[in-house]
Amino acid sequence: MRRLYTRQHRFYCGIDLHARLLAICIVDHDTASVVCRTQIPADKQMLLDTLAPYRADVVVAVECLFAWYWVADLCAAEKIPFVLGHALYMKAIHGGKAKNDDIDAEKIARLLRGGNIPVAYVYPKGLRETRDLLRRRMHLVHQRAGLITHIQILNAQNNLPDFKKKLIYARNRAELKAAERFLNPHVRKSVEVDLALIDALDVQIGDLELYLERTAKIEDPTTFHLLKTIGGVGKILGLTMLYEIHDIRRFSSVGEFLSYARLIRCTHESSGKKLGVGGAKIGNAHLKWAFSEAVCLLIRNYPAVKAWQAKKEKRHGKKKTLGILAARLGRAVYHMLRKRVAFDVRRFLGQ
């Protein structure tokens, strides 16, 4: 069940948020009438001036889009209740034939008044910047992987032998530079550009990883250490779990956490019949990746887990078995962080 904001206020302010523009609609609780409808530049003081007549008891709501940070921080500083609406759920609720900024702002305000606005988590200022930096590192890793893939494509286009070693490692790329594998000067120049960019990305990614690890050891060293007690979970997976989860207490149950991490499927039912599953893209994609990677490393590090996986694989197949293991690991992490205990492989396997 999705969390909804049900607290009552005198006024409800819905904001359709853009990078340079705010469409504002304020609805009265008693009469359900619009008492303010305006559009202003995305300016802190102008927003406070607009809310001033209603400051005694007003709540502000925006959709969870890229520009919400400054509004949330402003409301926190000014002691104004703030609600962050889950964008995907809200799209399903207030979709309509006509659409513009004023209509969207009013629909947000009326959802808020009716207690029907689905709530997203307001990640706290300070830690939020570290999480975004970690996600930026992942973006750079994807860019590096794309450049390596391009080199492999050029190799295949010229019908050359496959690379014997993985190009992700710098020592293997050094051999490629020296050998002048590609005879055509234009192709060789393209490869040289790719290699130069890969080398530059290696430096930046390495520097980011060192910075993030030092930051985690200052901000939450205990949780970071607990996550690294899971066999195979190292620096990057530990950082990802740490900053994407943040506070395990924000999840009221293990099922809610597994759903957020995309580790369980949500079934669709009607009239007692199952109609399939949905919501595959609702949740945290970074946690889904982290747990999927951690399971593969868990199997490699624990013979008992590998034996359990081989036994279940005969019945469920490889893909489903890995999904079951990922969900079990998510459940284990939830209880680990709740109870502040290290990972126990025997308890993980139910032994």
Q: Could you please report the per-residue DSSP string of 153-222?
A: HHHHHTTPPPPSS-TTSHHHHHHHHHHT---SHHHHHHHHHHHHHHHHHHHHHHHHHHHHHHHHHHH-HH
- Assess whether pLDDT exceeds 60 at residue 283: yes
pLDDT tens, position by position, 162-219:
888 888 888 888 777 756 788 888 988 999 999 999 999 999 999 999 999 999 999 9
The one-letter amino acid code at 132 reads D
What are the distances in angstroms from CA 298 to CA 237, 305, 324?
Answer: 12, 7, 13
Least confident of 7-21, 85-99, 190-204, 296-310: 85-99
d(CA 108, CA 104): 6
Question: Domain 11-113 is of which CATH architecture?
Answer: 2-Layer Sandwich (3.30)
* Model pLDDT, residue 265: 77
Q: pLDDT above 90 covers what percent of the chain?
A: 71
pLDDT tens, position by position, 231-279:
889 999 999 999 999 999 999 999 999 999 999 877 777 777 776 666 6
Q: pLDDT above 70 covers what percent of the chain?
A: 95
Task: Report phi then psi at 222, rounded to 5.
Answer: -65, -50
* Model pLDDT, residue 279: 63
Label residue 332 by pLDDT band (50, 70, 90): very high
- State the pTM of this model: 0.87
pLDDT tens, position by position, 242-254:
999 999 999 999 9
* Model pLDDT, residue 243: 96
For all residues of the chain together, what is the average pLDDT? 90
Domain ranges of the chain: 11-113, 127-219, 227-270+279-348
323 CB-side CA count, 13 A: 10
